[in-house]
Structure 1
Amino acid sequence: MSRNWFRWIPAAAVPAAVAVGLVVSGASAVPPPPPASAEQVVALVASHRAQQFSGDVEQTTDLGLPAIPSQALDATGGSSAGQAAAVLGLLTTAHSGRVYADGPTRLRVQVMDQLAERDVIRNGSTAWTWDSKAARATRTTLPAPTPRAAPTPDAALTPDTLARRVLAAAGPSTAVTLGDPVIVAGHSAYTLVLTPRTSGTLVASVRIAVESATGLPLAVDVHARGQVDPAFHLAMTSVDLRAPDPSVFAFTPPRGATVTQEHLPAAPHRPTTGTSAKRTAAPAGWDAVVTLPADRVPADLLRSPLVAQLSTPVGGGRLLSSSLVNVLVTTDGRLLAGAVPVSTLEAAAR
């Protein structure tokens, strides 16, 4: 999945089962004693000790969008329209997979499709994405920042990475409280509840299950306003808190695969002291609207039959609407997206 496509979707709406057996001996499923505050659980997540683990993951969505047939996804090819189909597939179809982690710079996520497999592998400064159906691999050389800040491919979405993004984006616009303790994948967990303080968003709340002993996020549920079941659910269904075999992070493209090489530029130096340290603020907040100018919206996206099928004509463009995210493509080619009502996008487009 393209990094650019991933960034078009608000972090809380991306894009995420409770029970099943525990593989690690000695862990308890007894509900944990309540912590003194939500801030303590947030701090537990920020410094969690589960740097080595593996387990099964499931992701389901209920956004009110129709499921996309696999043949429709295949027909879009590898263009920008195909990347759009990949995002739409994520938002309309349930997925299962397996995740392996060994420290901050070694990660593998396997997504199992029907008769196919997609992988995202990070091993130090090298990252691979692999699509077995298309027999296509991409190798990316990552820059070398500090280990804790080392980048991870956006497609490697796990409850841990999603929970950290949501918590990092939470600010004064978010109320963070404690919910009832839960059991996830056989582990007792605290529940963090993030509630937007604004009524101008489609997000009602985000609930994060945090393993009580280690601080590892085990599940993320995003709830849309007026909807009982989670609009987006991403959870571990089994967890093994031992180091995975190092061989799972090694990857060699099969013979005959199409291989592409990418290089990510190093992040520009930013001064950390003095008044000259300035950053360009990105859209923030639950009611934020992301806008792409026409020259950054791929032309083949606008011509995609799949996008045309799932969107509807509105005054000033075409709208792809769901219970959690709305996307407006204007007649002049701009794209606006956010976890906001349609009226907010239309106002921003004027």
Structure 2
Amino acid sequence: MIDRRGFGKALGMGAGAAAVSLTGLPGGQTAYAAGSASATPAVHTAFPRLKQIRAGLLDVGYAELGPARGPAVICLHGWPYDIHSYVDVAPLLAEAGYRVIVPYLRGHGTTRFLSERTFRNAQQSVIALDIIALMDALKIEKAVLAGFDWGSRTADIIAALRPERCKALVSVSGYLITNRKANLDPIAPQAEHTWWYQYYFATERGRLAMEKPDLRHDLTRFVWDTVSPTWDFDDATFERTAAAFDNPDYAAIVIHNYRWRLSLADGERRYDGIEERLAARPFIAVPTITLDPERDPFTAPGNGTSYRDRFTGEYEHRTLAGIGHNVPQEAPAAFAQAVIDVDRF
């Protein structure tokens, strides 16, 4: 594996400047300049040939880059995104010597359920169990887990409940493990407005919008535009990801995920024990870097202080100036640098 200085050289070939520490802050916090989104052009548009593997309840589609015997990094996407969020991150990490795995989550891309009879469940615990099953299938005992949105939540859960499988963690937006009871309480009006699509998906109109291709396309594009206000992406970039939404289970998975979070849909009783542990907001003790994108409307105020107490191991917080919600695709160098750095804690 090349060292951090060598990694910095690897970043200088147009993938965007490596994040540079601007100001030391108390409590393990750092302000980072990732460069404006428009100044971080995409270098790659596609992964090499995708792979498939049976893992748990799924036939998982995934991209793999880097040496087969390198230390593993698993990069997890969110909604409404797919593996292309890591299309520039993965080559950077592969060049640094990592074996990089980027899976489609259930209901996305080429990932399929093995049985038509399986309930299309998207509660938080089952997505985490999908990733553990994938690690088992790939014979990966331990990995650095890195994610945003649904991917952050999934990585947080594994880090909290299965720390023996998580070497270190990069989590955008910090601690995202869902407490459904707490989710029943109203929040500030501006924050409620930001979550408009959760409430839309609670209606039959919202479900139909996810099922109808044209409406789904326009809705997800609108989300991209609003949550990444500084990212100057082109139509082709969105369309490459939108193809993953044609998965036959996509609408069912998305609707169940958001309805479950609001206690409007049930999960499966066999996962109740896991969910009870998650509702208690378990601590995360593995080495962690949390990333807050400055221009993401979901970024909580306080520069990470709202979730700092959940992380009890070696820890650093970074704020990415000028970056919106889709951090790995908007600021691939800063994201990859966080993976490299947390692996060396």
What is the TM-score of this pair, normalised by structure 2? 0.27
| Structure exhibiting the larger radius of gyration computed from Cα positions | 1
What is the TM-score of this pair, normalised by structure 1? 0.27
